[in-house]
Amino acid sequence: MVLNWKLGGLLLGLVFFAAVLLVKPIGVSTQFVILNGVVADLVSPDFITKTDDAYTSTNAYMAKSNGSYAKNAANPLNYSFVFVLAMALGAFLSARLRGGIDAAERAAPEIWRANFGDTPVMRYAVAFLGGFIVLYGARLAGGCTSGHMMSGMMQTALSGYIFAAGAFAAAIPTAMLMYKRG
């Protein structure tokens, strides 16, 4: 069961506040790049290299900002990467404690089945493609729903408002066209 919005919103707001009080604003999408960097460096050890006092990479994106992404990929036991792992753990435990998700819902959500029937393979394909555009877009924008929309607008960042405008301008028509039922 989903929390009442007043309680849920208050709790979510407190988590965002705790993050900025104790460490820094919440963000997630950068860690997809970091994980790619970890994997790429395992496959090809020259991908990330240590210079005198910093890190760099053969990939221009990993090497930007004086190699800050390269540094985090070389040392994945850092705050932001562990944060995302812990986030998954928190969601796992929370879902377990409320009894988990039923089998049909685990394969494809109800809103998908209401519009496209029992087509899990098509659902997986859309989820894959959706993930591709979401992360490409998030990296182009420099952040995602967490970093730009929530953390950004909370800090009155201009970029957060620009991002939210773009995201909803595309998301609302897409959702209305795709999901007429449910």
Over the window 122 to 141, marking each residue x when it contacts another protein by CB under 8 A and - when it does not, the resulting string is: -xxxxxxxxxxxxxxxxxxx
Sequence-ordered list of residues with C-beta below 8 angstroms from that of 59, at least 6 positions apart, any chain: 37, 40, 47
If one asks whether residue 165 binds another protein (CB under 8 A), the answer comes out as yes
Contacts (Cβ under 8 Å, ≥6 apart) of 70: 37, 48, 55, 56, 57, 62, 63
- Considering the complex, state which of residue 52 and residue 158 has its C-beta at the smaller distance from another protein: 158
Q: Whole-number minimum distance, CB 98 to another protein, in Å?
A: 7
* Total Cβ atoms within 10 A of residue 164: 16
Taking CB under 8 A as the rule, does residue 32 contact another protein? yes
Name which of 54 and 114 has its Cβ closer to another protein.
114
Per CB under 8 A, 163 contacts another protein: yes
Count Cβ atoms below 10 Å from residue 29 Cβ, excluding itself.
Answer: 20
157 binds another protein (CB under 8 A): yes
Tokens coding 8:
């849920």
Q: Total binding residues for another protein by CB under 8 A?
A: 125
Write down the residue that tokens 């089998």 correspond to. 103
Beta-bridge partners for 50: 55
Report if residue 54 touches another protein, rule: CB under 8 A: no
Q: Which of 51, 100, 117, 118 binds another protein (CB under 8 A)?
A: 100
**CB of 52: closest distance to another protein in angstroms?**
24
